[in-house]
Homo-oligomer: A and B are copies of this chain.
Amino acid sequence: VQAISSIIEIAKRAGVSTGTVSRVINGAPNVSDELRARVTATIAEAQYRPNGLARGLRNRRSKTLGLIIPDITNPFFSELAKSVEVEATRRGFCLILSNSMDSSTVEQSHVDALLERNVDGIIIAPAIDTVSLAGIGSVPIVALDRHLQGESARFIRSDNYGGAASAVRYLLQLGHRNIAFVGGPERLTITKERYRGYVDVLATIETATSLPVPWYGPFNYLTGVEAAQNFLALVDRPTAIFASNDQQAIGVLRAAADAGLEVPGDLSIIGFDDIPLAQCVIPRLTTVAQAIQSLGALSVDLALSKSSGRALEAKVLTLPVSLVVRESTGPPRVMTR
Protein backbone atom coordinates (compact mmCIF):
# COMPACT_ATOMS: atom_id res chain seq x y z
CA VAL A 1 0.00 0.00 0.00
CA GLN A 2 1.56 3.26 -1.11
CA ALA A 3 1.19 5.89 1.59
CA ILE A 4 -0.62 9.01 0.43
CA SER A 5 1.38 12.17 0.53
CA SER A 6 -0.94 15.11 0.13
CA ILE A 7 -3.80 16.58 2.04
CA ILE A 8 -5.60 17.10 -1.25
CA GLU A 9 -5.70 13.38 -1.83
CA ILE A 10 -7.12 12.82 1.63
CA ALA A 11 -9.72 15.49 1.11
CA LYS A 12 -10.77 13.88 -2.14
CA ARG A 13 -11.04 10.42 -0.64
CA ALA A 14 -13.03 11.63 2.33
CA GLY A 15 -15.20 13.82 0.15
CA VAL A 16 -14.41 17.00 2.03
CA SER A 17 -12.30 20.09 1.48
CA THR A 18 -8.64 20.40 2.38
CA GLY A 19 -9.61 22.96 4.95
CA THR A 20 -11.65 20.42 6.83
CA VAL A 21 -8.88 17.85 6.75
CA SER A 22 -6.51 20.46 8.10
CA ARG A 23 -8.93 21.35 10.85
CA VAL A 24 -9.22 17.72 11.84
CA ILE A 25 -5.46 17.22 11.86
CA ASN A 26 -5.00 20.25 14.06
CA GLY A 27 -7.88 19.42 16.36
CA ALA A 28 -9.85 22.56 15.56
CA PRO A 29 -13.17 22.59 17.43
CA ASN A 30 -15.45 23.60 14.60
CA VAL A 31 -15.79 20.33 12.73
CA SER A 32 -18.86 18.14 12.88
CA ASP A 33 -18.41 14.78 14.51
CA GLU A 34 -19.40 13.03 11.35
CA LEU A 35 -16.79 14.65 9.13
CA ARG A 36 -14.18 14.37 11.81
CA ALA A 37 -14.69 10.63 12.03
CA ARG A 38 -14.66 10.20 8.29
CA VAL A 39 -11.47 12.19 7.87
CA THR A 40 -9.75 10.46 10.76
CA ALA A 41 -10.58 7.10 9.25
CA THR A 42 -9.35 8.12 5.82
CA ILE A 43 -6.08 9.38 7.26
CA ALA A 44 -5.46 6.18 9.16
CA GLU A 45 -6.37 4.00 6.24
CA ALA A 46 -4.18 5.92 3.83
CA GLN A 47 -1.24 5.95 6.23
CA TYR A 48 -1.15 9.66 5.63
CA ARG A 49 1.50 11.74 7.38
CA PRO A 50 1.30 15.52 7.08
CA ASN A 51 4.32 17.14 5.48
CA GLY A 52 6.22 18.93 8.19
CA LEU A 53 8.13 21.07 5.73
CA ALA A 54 4.92 22.51 4.32
CA ARG A 55 3.43 23.00 7.76
CA GLY A 56 6.59 24.64 8.95
CA LEU A 57 6.70 26.94 5.98
CA ARG A 58 3.13 27.94 6.51
CA ASN A 59 3.22 28.21 10.32
CA ARG A 60 6.72 29.62 10.57
CA ARG A 61 7.82 26.99 13.03
CA SER A 62 9.54 23.69 12.51
CA LYS A 63 8.87 21.99 15.82
CA THR A 64 12.60 21.45 15.98
CA LEU A 65 15.23 22.59 18.46
CA GLY A 66 18.97 22.86 17.96
CA LEU A 67 21.54 21.80 20.52
CA ILE A 68 25.18 22.78 20.13
CA ILE A 69 27.68 21.32 22.56
CA PRO A 70 31.44 20.99 22.49
CA ASP A 71 31.49 17.19 22.41
CA ILE A 72 28.78 14.58 22.88
CA THR A 73 31.50 12.15 23.88
CA ASN A 74 31.98 13.98 27.15
CA PRO A 75 29.70 12.14 29.61
CA PHE A 76 28.47 15.38 31.13
CA PHE A 77 27.25 16.58 27.77
CA SER A 78 25.78 13.25 26.77
CA GLU A 79 23.76 13.25 29.99
CA LEU A 80 22.74 16.80 29.26
CA ALA A 81 21.89 16.05 25.63
CA LYS A 82 19.77 13.14 26.71
CA SER A 83 17.73 15.17 29.13
CA VAL A 84 17.29 17.89 26.52
CA GLU A 85 16.22 15.36 23.92
CA VAL A 86 13.76 13.67 26.25
CA GLU A 87 12.18 16.94 27.25
CA ALA A 88 12.02 18.18 23.67
CA THR A 89 10.39 14.94 22.56
CA ARG A 90 7.90 15.16 25.40
CA ARG A 91 6.79 18.47 23.96
CA GLY A 92 6.58 17.23 20.40
CA PHE A 93 9.87 18.71 19.28
CA CYS A 94 12.84 17.10 17.58
CA LEU A 95 16.41 17.85 18.51
CA ILE A 96 19.21 18.57 16.06
CA LEU A 97 22.55 17.73 17.63
CA SER A 98 25.78 19.53 16.74
CA ASN A 99 29.28 19.13 18.13
CA SER A 100 31.36 22.28 18.02
CA MET A 101 34.59 20.45 18.84
CA ASP A 102 35.45 23.43 21.01
CA SER A 103 35.79 25.67 17.97
CA SER A 104 33.92 28.92 17.60
CA THR A 105 34.18 28.68 13.85
CA VAL A 106 32.50 25.30 13.74
CA GLU A 107 29.98 26.61 16.22
CA GLN A 108 29.07 29.51 13.98
CA SER A 109 28.59 27.22 10.99
CA HIS A 110 26.29 25.05 13.07
CA VAL A 111 24.30 28.11 14.07
CA ASP A 112 23.95 29.02 10.41
CA ALA A 113 22.78 25.52 9.54
CA LEU A 114 20.23 25.60 12.35
CA LEU A 115 18.89 28.99 11.37
CA GLU A 116 18.52 27.89 7.77
CA ARG A 117 16.46 24.98 9.00
CA ASN A 118 14.23 27.37 10.90
CA VAL A 119 14.69 25.78 14.30
CA ASP A 120 12.37 27.18 16.93
CA GLY A 121 15.16 27.67 19.41
CA ILE A 122 18.85 27.03 19.97
CA ILE A 123 20.41 25.68 23.13
CA ILE A 124 24.13 26.11 23.18
CA ALA A 125 27.06 25.43 25.45
CA PRO A 126 29.51 27.83 23.81
CA ALA A 127 33.06 26.72 23.11
CA ILE A 128 34.41 30.09 24.12
CA ASP A 129 32.10 32.13 26.24
CA THR A 130 33.57 35.48 25.40
CA VAL A 131 32.74 35.27 21.73
CA SER A 132 29.43 36.28 20.23
CA LEU A 133 27.57 34.56 17.45
CA ALA A 134 26.20 36.12 14.28
CA GLY A 135 22.66 35.69 13.01
CA ILE A 136 21.22 35.15 16.43
CA GLY A 137 18.33 37.34 17.39
CA SER A 138 15.71 35.90 15.11
CA VAL A 139 15.34 32.89 17.36
CA PRO A 140 15.30 32.21 21.12
CA ILE A 141 18.74 31.31 22.40
CA VAL A 142 19.62 29.60 25.64
CA ALA A 143 23.20 29.51 26.84
CA LEU A 144 23.66 26.32 28.79
CA ASP A 145 26.45 25.72 31.28
CA ARG A 146 28.51 28.45 29.68
CA HIS A 147 27.84 32.10 29.14
CA LEU A 148 27.25 33.64 25.73
CA GLN A 149 28.06 37.17 24.71
CA GLY A 150 25.22 39.40 23.61
CA GLU A 151 22.11 40.48 25.39
CA SER A 152 19.57 38.28 23.67
CA ALA A 153 20.42 34.92 25.26
CA ARG A 154 19.05 33.48 28.44
CA PHE A 155 21.62 31.74 30.58
CA ILE A 156 21.28 28.66 32.73
CA ARG A 157 24.03 26.96 34.67
CA SER A 158 24.94 25.40 37.98
CA ASP A 159 26.31 27.11 41.03
CA ASN A 160 29.93 26.59 40.09
CA TYR A 161 31.31 28.85 42.75
CA GLY A 162 29.31 27.24 45.53
CA GLY A 163 30.08 23.74 44.33
CA ALA A 164 33.81 24.25 44.31
CA ALA A 165 33.62 26.01 47.64
CA SER A 166 31.78 23.19 49.35
CA ALA A 167 34.19 20.63 47.92
CA VAL A 168 37.19 22.48 49.27
CA ARG A 169 35.44 23.15 52.56
CA TYR A 170 34.93 19.41 52.92
CA LEU A 171 38.58 18.72 52.21
CA LEU A 172 39.57 21.25 54.87
CA GLN A 173 37.28 19.47 57.29
CA LEU A 174 39.14 16.25 56.58
CA GLY A 175 42.30 18.02 57.63
CA HIS A 176 43.84 18.74 54.25
CA ARG A 177 45.87 21.90 54.02
CA ASN A 178 47.68 21.43 50.72
CA ILE A 179 44.98 21.19 48.07
CA ALA A 180 45.64 21.44 44.34
CA PHE A 181 43.27 22.68 41.64
CA VAL A 182 42.71 21.18 38.19
CA GLY A 183 40.73 23.49 35.95
CA GLY A 184 39.02 23.28 32.58
CA PRO A 185 40.05 25.53 29.71
CA GLU A 186 41.30 28.71 31.32
CA ARG A 187 39.25 31.02 29.12
CA LEU A 188 35.92 29.64 30.34
CA THR A 189 33.84 31.37 32.94
CA ILE A 190 32.95 28.08 34.61
CA THR A 191 36.63 27.45 35.11
CA LYS A 192 37.10 30.84 36.68
CA GLU A 193 34.06 30.48 38.89
CA ARG A 194 35.18 27.11 40.19
CA TYR A 195 38.64 28.46 40.78
CA ARG A 196 37.27 31.39 42.73
CA GLY A 197 35.25 29.04 44.91
CA TYR A 198 38.40 27.07 45.60
CA VAL A 199 40.57 30.08 46.31
CA ASP A 200 38.05 31.93 48.43
CA VAL A 201 37.59 29.03 50.80
CA LEU A 202 41.29 28.45 51.12
CA ALA A 203 41.72 32.13 51.89
CA THR A 204 39.73 31.62 55.08
CA ILE A 205 42.44 29.51 56.66
CA GLU A 206 46.09 30.04 57.32
CA THR A 207 48.29 27.87 55.18
CA ALA A 208 51.93 27.20 55.85
CA THR A 209 52.86 27.23 52.20
CA SER A 210 51.39 28.88 49.14
CA LEU A 211 48.91 27.03 46.95
CA PRO A 212 50.20 24.81 44.16
CA VAL A 213 49.99 26.52 40.78
CA PRO A 214 46.65 25.49 39.23
CA TRP A 215 46.69 23.19 36.21
CA TYR A 216 44.38 23.94 33.31
CA GLY A 217 43.34 21.79 30.37
CA PRO A 218 40.44 20.32 28.42
CA PHE A 219 37.71 18.51 30.34
CA ASN A 220 39.03 15.02 29.71
CA TYR A 221 40.90 12.12 31.29
CA LEU A 222 44.27 13.11 29.92
CA THR A 223 44.23 16.50 31.59
CA GLY A 224 43.67 14.78 34.90
CA VAL A 225 46.55 12.41 34.31
CA GLU A 226 48.91 15.22 33.35
CA ALA A 227 47.80 17.44 36.19
CA ALA A 228 48.31 14.69 38.72
CA GLN A 229 51.73 13.80 37.35
CA ASN A 230 52.64 17.44 37.73
CA PHE A 231 51.29 17.81 41.25
CA LEU A 232 52.64 14.51 42.52
CA ALA A 233 56.14 15.44 41.41
CA LEU A 234 56.08 18.58 43.53
CA VAL A 235 58.45 18.77 46.49
CA ASP A 236 55.60 19.92 48.60
CA ARG A 237 53.14 17.32 47.36
CA PRO A 238 49.44 18.10 47.76
CA THR A 239 47.42 15.72 49.88
CA ALA A 240 44.24 16.45 48.00
CA ILE A 241 43.27 17.42 44.46
CA PHE A 242 40.07 19.13 43.40
CA ALA A 243 39.32 18.53 39.71
CA SER A 244 36.87 20.62 37.72
CA ASN A 245 35.09 17.66 36.26
CA ASP A 246 34.76 13.96 36.85
CA GLN A 247 36.74 12.94 33.81
CA GLN A 248 39.68 14.93 35.03
CA ALA A 249 39.21 13.43 38.49
CA ILE A 250 39.25 9.94 37.01
CA GLY A 251 42.42 10.83 35.18
CA VAL A 252 43.91 11.89 38.51
CA LEU A 253 42.82 8.54 39.93
CA ARG A 254 44.58 6.81 37.07
CA ALA A 255 47.81 8.74 37.61
CA ALA A 256 47.69 8.16 41.36
CA ALA A 257 47.44 4.42 40.75
CA ASP A 258 50.37 4.59 38.35
CA ALA A 259 52.37 6.41 41.00
CA GLY A 260 51.57 3.69 43.51
CA LEU A 261 49.46 5.95 45.68
CA GLU A 262 46.42 4.87 47.64
CA VAL A 263 43.21 6.87 47.24
CA PRO A 264 42.04 8.28 49.56
CA GLY A 265 44.79 7.12 51.92
CA ASP A 266 47.67 8.95 50.26
CA LEU A 267 45.64 11.35 48.19
CA SER A 268 42.08 12.66 48.35
CA ILE A 269 40.29 13.49 45.13
CA ILE A 270 37.07 15.38 44.46
CA GLY A 271 35.46 15.80 41.06
CA PHE A 272 32.62 17.82 39.59
CA ASP A 273 29.42 16.84 37.69
CA ASP A 274 28.60 13.43 39.17
CA ILE A 275 28.43 11.45 35.97
CA PRO A 276 27.20 7.84 36.38
CA LEU A 277 30.75 6.57 36.09
CA ALA A 278 31.65 8.34 39.32
CA GLN A 279 29.98 5.63 41.34
CA CYS A 280 31.69 2.91 39.40
CA VAL A 281 35.37 3.78 39.32
CA ILE A 282 37.75 2.37 41.86
CA PRO A 283 37.59 3.85 44.38
CA ARG A 284 34.19 5.52 43.99
CA LEU A 285 34.44 9.22 43.36
CA THR A 286 33.38 11.97 45.72
CA THR A 287 32.09 14.78 43.56
CA VAL A 288 29.98 17.90 43.24
CA ALA A 289 26.70 16.80 41.67
CA GLN A 290 25.04 18.98 39.08
CA ALA A 291 21.28 18.74 38.53
CA ILE A 292 21.76 17.67 34.94
CA GLN A 293 18.15 16.64 34.38
CA SER A 294 16.92 20.02 35.51
CA LEU A 295 19.49 21.86 33.47
CA GLY A 296 18.30 20.03 30.37
CA ALA A 297 14.60 20.30 30.99
CA LEU A 298 14.76 23.95 31.99
CA SER A 299 16.80 24.92 28.98
CA VAL A 300 14.13 23.44 26.72
CA ASP A 301 11.60 25.35 28.74
CA LEU A 302 13.43 28.61 28.25
CA ALA A 303 14.03 27.99 24.57
CA LEU A 304 10.34 27.42 24.02
CA SER A 305 8.82 30.11 26.20
CA LYS A 306 8.11 33.18 24.18
CA SER A 307 9.86 35.81 26.15
CA SER A 308 9.36 38.61 23.68
CA GLY A 309 7.82 41.47 25.53
CA ARG A 310 8.38 40.37 29.07
CA ALA A 311 11.62 42.24 29.45
CA LEU A 312 11.84 41.68 33.15
CA GLU A 313 12.10 37.93 32.98
CA ALA A 314 15.08 36.37 34.69
CA LYS A 315 17.97 36.27 32.28
CA VAL A 316 20.21 34.06 34.38
CA LEU A 317 19.22 30.91 36.20
CA THR A 318 21.62 29.34 38.66
CA LEU A 319 20.84 25.82 39.82
CA PRO A 320 22.06 24.52 43.17
CA VAL A 321 24.58 21.70 43.37
CA SER A 322 25.31 19.19 46.11
CA LEU A 323 28.40 17.43 47.33
CA VAL A 324 28.16 13.66 47.06
CA VAL A 325 30.60 11.96 49.38
CA ARG A 326 31.43 8.36 48.51
CA GLU A 327 33.45 6.18 50.82
CA SER A 328 34.79 2.67 50.37
CA THR A 329 31.90 1.28 52.38
CA GLY A 330 28.37 2.46 52.97
CA PRO A 331 26.02 4.43 50.76
CA PRO A 332 26.95 7.82 49.32
CA ARG A 333 26.26 10.81 51.57
CA VAL A 334 24.66 13.80 49.91
CA MET A 335 25.59 17.11 51.48
CA THR A 336 23.63 20.02 50.09
CA ARG A 337 25.74 23.13 50.41
Residue of B with least CB distance to A50: B116
Write out the residue numbers on chain B whose beta carbons fall within 8 Å of the beta carbon of A97: 81, 85, 95-97
A62 and B96 alpha carbons, distance in the complex (Å)? 13
Write out the residue numbers on chain B whose beta carbons fall within 8 Å of the beta carbon of A208: none
Could you say which of B63, B82, B117, B137 contacts A64, with CB atoms under 8 Å apart? B117
Question: Could you tell me the distance in whole angstroms from the C-beta of A38 to the nearest C-beta in chain B?
Answer: 22
Residues A49 and B94 in contact in the complex (CB < 8 Å), given A54-B57, A75-B75, A117-B64 = no
- Please tell me if A281 contacts chain B, counting CB pairs below 8 Å: yes
A208-247 to B contact mask, C-beta < 8 Å, 1/0: 0000000000000100010000000000000000000000
In the complex the two chains form, is B112's CB within 8 Å of A85's CB? no
Chain A, range 152-211, C-beta contacts under 8 Å to B: none
- Please tell me if A280 contacts chain B, counting CB pairs below 8 Å: yes
Residue of B with least CB distance to A94: B96
Question: Could you tell me the distance in whole angstroms from the C-beta of A53 to the nearest C-beta in chain B?
Answer: 4
In the complex the two chains form, is A3's CB within 8 Å of B117's CB? no
A47 and B138 alpha carbons, distance in the complex (Å)? 12
Chain A, range 121-144, C-beta contacts under 8 Å to B: 135, 137-138
Question: Could you tell me the distance in whole angstroms from the C-beta of A265 to the nearest C-beta in chain B?
Answer: 15
Chain A interface residue count: which class?
Answer: 35 or more
Residues A112 and B49 in contact in the complex (CB < 8 Å), given A64-B117, A276-B73 = yes
Residues A53 and B98 in contact in the complex (CB < 8 Å), given A73-B79, A138-B3, A253-B282 = no
Write out the residue numbers on chain B whose beta carbons fall within 8 Å of the beta carbon of A63: 117
Question: Could you tell me the distance in whole angstroms from the C-beta of A21 to the nearest C-beta in chain B?
Answer: 16
- Please tell me if A105 contacts chain B, counting CB pairs below 8 Å: no
Could you say which of B89, B94, B280 contacts A254, with CB atoms under 8 Å apart? B280
A116 and B3 alpha carbons, distance in the complex (Å)? 13
In the complex the two chains form, is A82's CB within 8 Å of B75's CB? no
A85 and B110 alpha carbons, distance in the complex (Å)? 11
- Please tell me if A257 contacts chain B, counting CB pairs below 8 Å: yes
A248 and B98 alpha carbons, distance in the complex (Å)? 28
A136 and B173 alpha carbons, distance in the complex (Å)? 60
In the complex the two chains form, is A81's CB within 8 Å of B75's CB? no
In the complex the two chains form, is A72's CB within 8 Å of B81's CB? yes
- Please tell me if A103 contacts chain B, counting CB pairs below 8 Å: no
In the complex the two chains form, is A82's CB within 8 Å of B89's CB? no
Can you name 21 A-B pairs with beta carbons within 8 Å? A3-B135, A47-B135, A52-B117, A52-B118, A53-B118, A62-B117, A64-B117, A71-B82, A72-B72, A72-B78, A73-B78, A75-B78, A81-B97, A82-B99, A85-B98, A89-B110, A94-B98, A95-B96, A221-B276, A254-B282, A281-B281
Given contacts A49-B135, A53-B53, A89-B113, 16 further A-B contacts (CB under 8 A): A49-B115, A51-B57, A51-B118, A52-B118, A53-B62, A53-B118, A72-B82, A73-B79, A75-B75, A95-B96, A97-B97, A221-B277, A250-B277, A250-B280, A254-B282, A277-B277
Question: Considering the complex of A and B, which 8 residue pairs feature the smallest CB-CB distances, nearest first?
Answer: A97-B97, A53-B57, A53-B56, A52-B116, A52-B117, A78-B78, A221-B280, A257-B282
